Amino acid sequence: MGKVLHASYSGYFPSCITEATREKGIVEGSIEDLMYIYWRVKTWELENITGVFNTSPFNWQFDSSNIDLGSTTANTEERLVCGKNFVSNNYVFFKVLTGDPVEPEAAGDFSIFFSPIVTKKQNEEVYQMTFIQDFFVTGSNRFSNNNTAVLPQCGTIVIKPIGVTVPIYGGAGGNLSIEISPVEWWSYGGTYDTQTGQPL
């Protein structure tokens, strides 16, 4: 995908790319990788989630049989760039059930957020996109990672189309293993097949 026309002088994302190096709350990749997951993918599938997410007083156990498909908050391509609230328009929400023996039917919310806020890693051809993972399980507190959180790593997310593994931080720890894959792509006026993501 080429550059887009908007107010950002970088031409890749709605906000300008600056140079910095961040440690947490990011997904790293080439400029093409990050443009793909922000601009191209409309709907993601929580393809696999296993392991335990530790919160007091429970250890929430997840398994793939309890997955619900995720949906994005953006409903048109324009919402990815237009309007004052564009930064919050690319959340993806998933609903899952836990396998906790105490509350086996407890509902869990898992959301991810790909942001157009991108930095170029200092002295490298690597780009870092703000990437938030947020867990909320009934009866527990909410734990989410961000750029300043001092939280233990409790697992990993694999973003399958670009083959990048992102750490999960939050709670008292855990060993979650999560995979997400695209299942629907933006059309951009018939430019791409929405079911395959391939150019038409």
DSSP 56-82: SS-EEEE-GGGB---EES--SGGGGTS
Alpha-carbon distance of 143 to 55, in angstroms, equals: 9
The pLDDT score that the predictor gives to residue 145 is 58
| Three-state DSSP class for residue 15 | coil
Q: Tokens 């855990």 appear where? A: 174
The predicted model gives 168-176 an average pLDDT of: 79
Among candidate residues 153, 151, 147, the one with its CA nearest the CA of residue 130: 147
85 band by pLDDT with thresholds 50, 70 and 90: very low
Confidence label for 123 from pLDDT (cuts 50, 70 and 90)? confident
Measured over the CA atoms of residue 43, residue 194, residue 183 and residue 1, the dihedral's sign is: negative
Give me the percent of the chain exceeding a pLDDT of 90: 20
Other CB atoms within a 10 A radius of the CB of residue 157 amount to 22
Q: How far is CA 66 from the centre of its chain?
A: 19
Q: What tens digit of pLDDT does each residue of 53-74 get?
A: 776 666 777 776 666 666 667 7
CA 59 to chain centre: 23
**What pTM was computed for the model?**
0.81
Rounded CA-CA distance 36/6 in Å is 17
Q: Residue 171 in contact with residue 135, Cβ under 8 Å?
A: yes
CA 84/CA 181 separation, integer angstroms = 29
